[in-house]
Chains A and B, each alone.
Chain A
């Protein structure tokens, strides 16, 4: 399963080497050209038979994780989050650090010490033999099936989107389709910003894993999306007001093809769209997301049905565009 393959690869924002190799090897047989830009994004081009409209589909390959910022005298490590992680979910979580996958344990510490990572080293000297400042750490989370039709893993935001994009790239289209697996989304949409300038698309589609707070203790208007409620079509977020006509078109395609869908019902957060829609002289942009419960934490949960229906919906959208449908 592509989601599992992608979600188990490593790739904290700024350290996307491993996930980049896994994704590039997966999509290479299906695309005309693979390029990497200076920031580390993959630009996988399917050139099509017609000149346009040129569609860029973006899914970010980086995940939230930790970045080692210092080695303390007592052998513990200080760290910063690479990407937004709520401090509440960090305590007691096991992590792997650096290329050698050194096991560590995040502790909340005291008000005075602040949070730290324990790697079992007795002193700074011993710790320095195992890790370096600048190493990245990922959460230790097993990928498993979860309940009925759900999966649990780290990094579903946005490996689930990467998997959707890889599936989309397996099909052929008449129009040029550029799949961008972007780097550094979680630290400010940096990868997509550069990649969008290289691709210079007419239409941008962002595929995301998004906030899903469908718990009973959360008021309906704050839930954003519901697990199993289908692909979430964004309205607006902090960085983009998504193209209204194209977003409505997505809703209509879902309705006419009996795909259960939902709108993303909060306006907070941001994604690659914020960078893409403001590149050049402006790009019409939409976002379709797979809801991910407990996003930006060591373990999140997604529905396989939502994932599969997201692939279907994006495919229908591309077919509509290449058949010359009104956009």
Chain B
């Protein structure tokens, strides 16, 4: 899993422009699925045929974006951030635009909050900066991938570890069950589960599990303590049938599953809820520290256990 996680972590994929991430995933899973396609918004949807019951397992692909919106005479690039509520955490972080251009987030006015931030690409004038960056270009946090034992420190883990987990599930999923299984790598999750909203309408699942990260500390979860079941978040409640199925699977595996309630958070489940379907849904996840920075911290053991848990749910036809 580590090799894939490293490649996914370093791929460029801000919200609404996830194609490089989708490409990596598509190459990984193509041999294991019956159908694979990309929809109008950029969701990657793979199908493994089987029985009639339509289930959907999803993972978000996007990462927080810094959108260049104004270039000043001095070459400072002012930006708007999306997909993160705390752009101030990115002060001094290295950021990368699509292609080769890199910069660093700096601050010239503490009184202005996030508006006091800018990206410095080392250009000495507007003209020079405009040669490298156009208004509308998007930068993402850039950082080295580091792994020690099970701990991983790298950018974008809060979504890409979900993707790595789902790729692992697809590779180990046993065909020929009662499910028509849909695996969705969703776009625009950080903008309010927009990708999942339209993907769900295309799939019309009866049951859905979304794999999301949970910020450590805020709901007494912590990297290394195992998978997390989200009973409630700010946008959705886990369905009782699915809560029971997860509990059965965790007992079967003798695996501890943390419970989390975090009303400040949102998951792709909200997209499924808004799609107007008769679907049960729940969000399962893993803890992440320092989210939406160049150095997010997770425990890869959590991801592996989460994959086992979801595979047990599917293999034992618990949903």
Contact = CB atoms under 8 A, between A and B. Distances in A.
B41 A267 contact: no
Nearest to B203: A281
Given A221-B69, A263-B136, A267-B67, A281 B115 contact: no
A293 interface: no
A278 B80 contact: no
A178 B198 CA distance: 22
B188 interface: yes
Interface residues of B, number: 26
Contacts of B80: 236, 266-267
A220 B16 contact: no
Contact of A267 (B39, B82, B115, B188): B82
Nearest to A265: B69
A236 B195 CA distance: 15
A183 to B, nearest CB: 22
Contacts, number: 66
Contact of B72 (A220, A223, A243, A282): A220
A286 B197 CA distance: 19
Interface string B110-146: 0000010000000000000000000110000000000
Nearest to A204: B40
Nearest to A283: B40
Contacts of A313: none
B79 to A, nearest CB: 8
Contact of B70 (A243, A265, A282, A284): A265
Contact of A281 (B17, B72, B188, B198): B198
A280 B198 CA distance: 6
Nearest to B197: A278
B78 A235 contact: no
Interface string A261-275: 001011100000000
Contact of B67 (A202, A222, A236): A236
A244 interface: yes
Contacts of A236: 16, 67, 80, 82
B237 interface: no
Interface in B1-45: 15-17, 39-41, 43
B201 interface: yes
A30 to B, nearest CB: 29
A161 B10 CA distance: 42
Contact of A263 (B41, B82, B135, B201): B135
B222 to A, nearest CB: 32
B282 to A, nearest CB: 22
Given A247-B136, A281-B198, A221 B70 contact: yes
Contacts of B67: 235-236, 267
A220 B136 contact: no
A283 B191 CA distance: 16
A282 B198 CA distance: 5
Contact of B135 (A265, A278, A281, A282): A265
B194 interface: yes
B277 interface: no
B202 interface: yes
B125 to A, nearest CB: 15
B269 to A, nearest CB: 16
A36 interface: no
Interface in A230-247: 235-236, 241, 243-244, 247
A235 B41 contact: no
Contact of B78 (A221, A247, A263): A221
Contacts of B39: 281-282
A277 B72 CA distance: 33
Contacts of B15: 241
B72 to A, nearest CB: 6
A221 B78 CA distance: 6
B198 A241 contact: no
A220 B72 CA distance: 8
A9 to B, nearest CB: 34
17 contacts: A220-B72, A220-B78, A221-B72, A221-B115, A222-B115, A235-B135, A241-B16, A241-B188, A266-B69, A267-B69, A267-B80, A278-B197, A281-B39, A281-B202, A282-B39, A283-B40, A284-B40
Interface of A: 202, 219-223, 235-236, 241, 243-244, 247, 263, 265-267, 277-278, 280-284
Given A222-B115, A267-B69, A267-B82, 11 more contacts: A219-B115, A221-B69, A223-B70, A241-B15, A241-B16, A243-B16, A263-B135, A265-B69, A278-B198, A281-B198, A282-B195
